[in-house]
């Protein structure tokens, strides 16, 4: 990974970082440290924030979800990207691809947002990102 590269952070990475009991927690922590050491410019999206918050709220506790959301505000190197109507329109095209079985709508919007923003790398544990050509961190 190049120093200062922009990296999109997916829901699975946020969850693994937030929950020490998550089976991918150690791997996520290592990936996070690598991103920070490289000075990565982190991006995520409103749909990813909502999906992560909902997961943490339901599987952990409301205070865990709220603490995670508040922690995002302290990350100066993180920008939360909006999901535009054009991104949603583009996202539907991914559902026509047979190799993307069980693709989530949030992942499809993430792909569209990453394309719009010119982001090639994702901090994700979901194979769908690499299936559409993004490079994985983590």
For 64-78, the pLDDT digits (tens) are 999 999 999 999 999
CATH value at residue 40: 3.40.50.1010
Assigned domain for 84 exists: yes
pLDDT at position 126? 94
pLDDT at position 115? 98
Domain with 23, as residue range(s), is: 6-137
Assigned domain for 1 exists: no
Consecutive 10-residue averages of pLDDT for the chain (138 residues): 91 98 98 96 98 97 97 95 97 92 96 98 96 92
Residue pair 8/110 in contact by the 8 Å Cβ criterion: yes
pLDDT at position 99? 87
Assigned domain for 57 exists: yes
- Global confidence as pTM: 0.95
For 124-134, the pLDDT digits (tens) are 999 999 999 99
- C-alpha–C-alpha distance, residues 133 and 78, integer Å: 23
Number of domains in the chain: 1
- C-alpha–C-alpha distance, residues 35 and 131, integer Å: 22
């Amino acid at each position: 990974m190049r120093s200062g590269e922009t990296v999109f952070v997916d829901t699975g990475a946020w969850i693994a970082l937030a929950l020490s009991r998550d089976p991918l927690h150690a791997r996520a922590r290592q990936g996070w440290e690598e991103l920070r050491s490289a000075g990565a410019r982190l991006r995520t999206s409103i749909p990813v924030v909502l999906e992560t918050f909902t997961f943490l709220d339901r599987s952990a506790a409301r205070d865990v979800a709220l603490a995670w959301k508040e922690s995002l505000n302290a990350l100066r190197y993180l920008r939360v990207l909006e999901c535009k109507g054009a991104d949603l329109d583009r996202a539907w095209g991914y559902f026509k691809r047979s190799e993307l079985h069980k693709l989530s709508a949030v992942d499809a919007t993430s792909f569209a947002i990453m394309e719009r923003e010119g982001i090639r790398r994702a901090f994700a544990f979901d194979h769908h990102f690499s299936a559409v050509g993004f490079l994985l961190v983590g």
